[in-house]
Structure 1
């Protein structure tokens, strides 16, 4: 199973944003992706990071993944398959459609200090955009 760490960041609310994706294949191979995003809120950037990471995994033919995020909002939304704030409903629907393509999918909340690689990549993506 592949471990995928994701994080979204915004410089403002809304502001220039970025997605960080760190993929650990657990065979010594890792991938880092710093994806510049448009102006958006931090929560929207978190969803964009999730969707970009899902697309990467699907494109690579990965069928079993364990996603890690330090966003309670994302973790809760995926676990419950529900969002309170209807603003995020389209993001959730898009993510769930992609998640359902995997044979095995796990989402786990981790503290920020265990998600440093993805966080640094998200911040790097913001700097790329500026």
Structure 2
């Protein structure tokens, strides 16, 4: 089983943000992080999970994802995501990322484990450090977020 730890962060929400991901398989460990100049915490939490799954080179039987984000975990655990898909994400926030998640999620047998944030869990703390640090350097444009905020009068509804 591969273990993926993720976290997302935004300073200002919306504001500069980033994600941090740790992939662990046997004795291999890989860290991934990226920052964006204007985004939200929820977008970065979800993007961290997506990036972790997209980093897998082949479909695996079992993947365990550890996240402190109820925003990410609840829609899957409570069956909301399947309803959102049937409604084509009408009136849902972050449809671009949820659609991207759904595509990569179906390639694997994924389990989720909720981790209480900032509780001393080593990998979650490291992902938080990666996410926060990435929000200060080499920032990309979260094009979907910026396009949506401009189209609705820059009120940050995503």
Instruction: Please indicate, yes or no, whether the TM-score normalized by the shorter chain is above 0.5.
Output: yes
Which structure 2 residue ranges, 5 or more long, are not aligned?
Answer: 140-158
TM-score w.r.t. the length of structure 2 is 0.72
**Which residue does the alignment assign to 1:28?**
27
Q: How do residues 7-18 of structure 1 correspond to structure 2 at under 5 angstroms?
A: 7-18=7-18
Q: How do residues 1-130 of structure 1 correspond to structure 2 at under 5 angstroms?
A: 1-25=1-25, 27-57=26-56, 60-63=57-60, 64-79=62-77, 80-82=79-81, 86-102=92-108, 104-112=109-117, 113=119, 114=121, 115-129=124-138
> Which of the two has higher C-alpha Rg?
2
Bigger share in strand = 1
Contact 1:16 1:129 in 2 (8 A): no
Bigger share in helix = 1
TM-score w.r.t. the length of structure 1 is 0.86
RMSD: 1.9
Q: 2:35, 2:12 → 1: CA distance? A: 14
Between the two proteins, the alignment pairs up a number of residues equal to 126
Contact 2:3 2:65 in 1 (8 A): yes
Q: Structure 1 segments of 4 or more deviating over 6 A?
A: none
Q: Secondary structure at the match of 2:93?
A: helix
Q: 2:21, 2:68 → 1: CA distance? A: 12
